[in-house]
Amino acid sequence: GEDVEQSLFLSVREGDSSVINCTYTDSSSTYLYWYKQEPGAGLQLLTYIFSNMDMKQDQRLTVLLNKKDKHLSLRIADTQTGDSAIYFCAETNQAGTALIFGKGTTLSVSS
Amino acid sequence: DTAVSQTPKYLVTQMGNDKSIKCEQNLGHDTMYWYKQDSKKFLKIMFSYNNKELIINETVPNRFSPKSPDKAHLNLHINSLELGDSAVYFCASSQDKGSYGYTFGSGTRLTVV
């Protein structure tokens, strides 16, 4: 079945860049997603990338996709304390009926 | 206006009780979902519901039953609650198969005592 893997924790200093990595198994997923969850809140769609793209940039966020290695990364430039949250990578299941999420990476930003 | 709203936000109940969580979306989406987030923050799909077609995740106990009175609502009814049902339940919606992502509600924290 589909599986999405992420490292569980990342700690950075304010102003540094953060890179969160993800590997996935289902190469048929047309889109891949990054969601952010702040404490006590729901999931907020941060960005997504079409599977035939290598890179997508959106302000401080850069998504890199290596389809051959099934590797997705999210880079946050100039990380701020407000970026502290859990970041989930997600792909669509083979049937296209649901998003499958990784276990989430908790990003901790210290000032 | 909240796009996907869930009620209640918090629910504390005793083992063995039956409870419902309600979800409504005002985005005009045609597909709705229930996800369960456990204490380790792992998210798992429970159900998706598209235009009266219910897709069931086979790992979900049959004590859980989704009910959709119309396209904008998807409720979750849970019978005979168990301690292991304690979690945060998220409702979400999407248009078609959600190519552009899902919109999530803010969650219902269920605590079974």
Average pLDDT of span B52-69: 86
* d(CA B48, nearest CA chain A) in Å: 7
Confidence at residue A1, expressed as pLDDT on a 0 to 100 scale = 64
- The mean-pLDDT minimum among B19-28, B49-58, B85-94, B104-113 falls in B49-58
List, run by run, the mean pLDDT of 10-residue segments along chain A (111 residues): 87 97 86 94 93 94 94 97 96 86 96 90
CA distance linking residue A18 with residue A10, whole number of Å = 8
Confidence at residue A29, expressed as pLDDT on a 0 to 100 scale = 79
Task: Please say if the pLDDT value at position B23 is more than 70.
Answer: yes
CA distance linking residue B91 with residue B5, whole number of Å = 8
Which residues of A are less than 8 Å from B107 in CB distance? 41-42
Contact A88 B43 (CB under 8 A): yes
Q: Which residues of B touch A (CB under 8 A)?
A: 4, 33, 40-45, 48, 50, 55, 57, 90, 92, 97-107
Which residues of B are less than 8 Å from A44 in CB distance? 104
Distances (CA, A) of A49 to A72, A79, A104, B6: 9, 21, 18, 28
Say which residue, B48 or A28, is predicted with more confidence: B48
CA distance linking residue A67 with residue A23, whole number of Å = 10
**Residue in chain B nearest A34 by alpha carbon:** B101
* d(CA A58, nearest CA chain B) in Å: 15
Query: In terms of DSSP bridges, do strands B31-37 and A85-92 run parallel, antiparallel, or are they unpaired?
Result: unpaired
Q: Identify the CA nearest to B84 among candidates B45, B43, B21, B38.
A: B38
Sheet strands side by side (includes B73-78)? B4-7, B19-25, B73-78, B64-70
Confidence of residue B37 (pLDDT cuts 50, 70, 90): very high
Kindly tell me the sign of the dihedral angle through the C-alpha atoms of A75, A76, A77, A79.
Answer: negative
Among A30, A41, A100, the residue with its CB nearest the CB of B99 is A30
Task: Please say if the pLDDT value at position B52 is more than 80.
Answer: no
